[in-house]
Amino acid sequence: MIEPQPIYGFGFFYMHRSGLVDQIIIFEYWDPDHYYEEVIRNEDKLRGEIEKLFSNMQYYLDQEKVLINGIDADPRVVSVDIGLKGKPEIAYIVFHIVFKGELKRGVNVYENIYEEEIAEYEYVVYWFFPENVKVLRAEVGVPYYIENDGRTLFFKVKPGTRVGGREAIYFQLE
């Protein structure tokens, strides 16, 4: 059997004025042997696969250090979903992760410290901030873009790019 291979990733971060962040990660997989189709069709296999993915993602999150204004934000997986994208050869996995920090008026800093690695597939990351917030700058290791009056930040990572170490986003709360 050919193992499913990740082919693309999406990361969506929605920061609320309360400091809560809803993080949605979507991984797309090339699955020529229809592994995930088989899993989806069997309720016991699906439950077991979701539990495994939940546990594995939480393990990786526990290896990272996510800080908001220097204080641990403690990311937690809250749900996992598996599906097919139009045909059984392309599967997706969706993770919903939450974390929270204390925001303050003035400059705030989100930091993610994790082990360096080489990106194996392309992915894109979007950050959406609430009203009265303006992104000032980011340290993400690749070119980034700020739009929507400073409330949206996004960047794309190509395969072969060295990522990790430390990422930071500096944003102003009025």
Position 6 confidence tier, pLDDT thresholds 50, 70, 90: very high
Judge whether 170 and 111 are in contact, CB under 8 Å. Answer: no
- How far is residue 115's CA from residue 109's CA, in Å, rounded to a whole number? 20
Q: What is residue 164's predicted lDDT score, i.e. its pLDDT? A: 85
Q: What is residue 26's predicted lDDT score, i.e. its pLDDT? A: 98
- How far is residue 33's CA from residue 90's CA, in Å, rounded to a whole number? 10
Angle subtended at Cα 29 by Cα 153 and Cα 86, rounded to the nearest 5 degrees: 95
Position 72 confidence tier, pLDDT thresholds 50, 70, 90: very high
pLDDT at 66 over 90: yes
What is the pLDDT averaged over residues 59-79? 98
What does the mean pLDDT of the chain come to? 97
Whole-Å CA distances, 39 to 45, 54, 81, 82: 5, 15, 12, 9
- How far is residue 34's CA from residue 36's CA, in Å, rounded to a whole number? 6
Q: What is residue 32's predicted lDDT score, i.e. its pLDDT? A: 96
Domain ranges of the chain: 5-173
Q: Name the percent of the chain lying above pLDDT 70.
A: 100
CA dihedral 159, 164, 166, 170 (to 10 degrees): 30
Q: Which CATH class is domain 5-173?
A: mainly beta
What is the pLDDT averaged over residues 73-84? 98
Whole-Å CA distances, 134 to 56, 112, 137, 138: 34, 19, 9, 12
Express each pLDDT in 33-52 by its tens digit: 999 999 999 999 999 999 99
Q: What is residue 1's predicted lDDT score, i.e. its pLDDT? A: 80
Return phi, psi of residue 42, to 5°.
Answer: -120, 110
pLDDT at 156 over 90: yes
Q: Which position has the token pair 């797309």?
A: 28
Express each pLDDT in 102-149 by its tens digit: 999 999 999 999 999 999 999 999 999 999 999 999 999 999 999 999
What is the pLDDT averaged over residues 79-93? 96
